Amino acid sequence: MIRKTILALALVATPVYAGNVEDWSAIAPGKDVGGFADSNGSKCDVLQADGPQGGQKSVQITATLVQGGYAGIWHNLATAADLSKSANLKFMAKASLPGELQMDIQDAHNVSYTVNFTVPSASWTAVTIPISSFKLNPYYQPPEAVKGSPEDLSQVGKIGFGTHIVGSAVVNIGPITTDGVGSPAASASAAAAPAPIVAKGAPLVIQDFSTDDPKAGGTFADSNGSTFSYAVKPNSNKPGAKFLVISFNEVQGGYCGMFYHTGNTWDGQDWTGGQALQMTVYSKVPVVLGVAFKDKNNNQYTADAPSTKGTGWETIQIPMASFKLDPYYTPPDAVKGAPEDLSAVKSFNLQPKTAVKATIAVDQLEIIK
């Protein structure tokens, strides 16, 4: 799913260095805060409401999210906030239907950064988000973003919240403040790529595309203009070997991708004990690939791979622990509520999560055990 982020409006004023980021006491819906949603049936409205304590205010987000859609709010801060010197963002939140949301911020270069968090209760609950947990938004960048610029959180003038809760929900976000002192060393450590998972035995090949069976898979795409196609090509550097070439054009807010069976049949593979899903990807622009699979109980699990660097071939990994039950799609034949069972994984999906037109290649798709 592509997750829409905050809209771009004017960045203003002198930064606040600590404490208050937004208390919602002076917001003007339709002027400095507003809702957005896809055109497939999702809706989002925003207004000012009472806060968690007497005299406080909150922003109230009333959203209906359809499967595979997006919805949320954008907000221009009256005064840009300096988040570079703080460790955390803190606020109280509640949701009539508890679940996952996302928060987006735009730095001094108008580059978007994003993080997901959970609101667990319909009662006011404290939420703490480490500022170092915000990552470059792979799904959307404003037209005015200075791409490639180093992160600069000294003037954050725009924030936003998106809902991942399918269905109708009312979410309230109370006053946002900063907490703690930021550590450059900690930020650098958090931004560093995790150490690769090393195989203890021979990897399990998920798909080497050697059979090139036209019945082995297929494609899917939205009706808003996204396109996706794939072809299996011979590897000139490895006689007899083949790899996958994918061409896609994903429109903003859209989706597209492919499904394919594991191994050389639809009988399934035993992924039990797998530590990571690993693949070698070729790209000339940074691309995030989402990967999904159906377990023995036909429940779908999904995770996003790290963004490619866009400099050619590179090996990327997704720890198996990162795969979560898909909150946006439940297969009709799923055994709902059944525990994850990797003993018979029959198929997988590859789905770009970056709204660009690109051609990429995928090779050596395997499970590291």
Q: Which of residues 157, 191, 225 is at a domain's end? A: 191
Res. 183 pLDDT band, cuts 50 70 90: low
Decide if 199 is inside a domain: no
**171 and 232 in a common domain:** no
- What confidence tens digit (pLDDT) does each residue in 96-144 have? 999 999 999 999 999 999 999 999 889 999 999 999 889 888 878 888 8
* Number of domains the chain contains: 2
Q: How many CB atoms lie within 10 A of CB 262?
A: 25
- What confidence tens digit (pLDDT) does each residue in 17-72 have? 347 899 999 999 999 999 999 999 999 999 999 999 989 999 999 999 998 889 99
73-157-132 Cα angle (round to 5): 90
CA-based torsion, 34, 165, 64, 61: positive or negative: negative
**Measured between alpha carbons, how far is residue 150 from residues 18, 24, 107, 108, 175 in Å?**
22, 30, 10, 10, 28
**112 and 87 in a common domain:** yes
**176 and 143 in a common domain:** yes
**230 and 139 in a common domain:** no
**212 and 77 in a common domain:** no
Decide if 8 is inside a domain: no
Give mean pLDDT, residues 79-108: 93
Decide if 260 is inside a domain: yes
Give the domain range for residue 235: 204-368
Reply yes or no on whether the pLDDT at 91 is more than 90.
Answer: yes
**39 and 144 in a common domain:** yes
**157 and 38 in a common domain:** yes
d(CA 270, CA 116): 31
DSSP designation for 270? -
**234 and 116 in a common domain:** no
- Percentage of the chain beyond pLDDT 70 is 91
CATH number at residue 247: 2.60.120.430
**277 and 227 in a common domain:** yes
d(CA 44, CA 72): 6
**285 and 147 in a common domain:** no
More confident residue, 199 or 183: 199
Res. 145 pLDDT band, cuts 50 70 90: confident
pLDDT given at position 180: 78
d(CA 103, CA 161): 5
**187 and 209 in a common domain:** no
pLDDT given at position 187: 43
Give mean pLDDT, residues 261-279: 93
Give residues with Cβ within 8 angstroms of 121, minimum separation 6. 94, 95, 98
Give mean pLDDT, residues 233-245: 86
Res. 318 pLDDT band, cuts 50 70 90: very high
Q: Which of residues 165, 191, 217 is at a domain's end? A: 191
Q: Which of residues 169, 191, 213 is at a domain's end? A: 191
Reply yes or no on whether the pLDDT at 4 is more than 50.
Answer: no
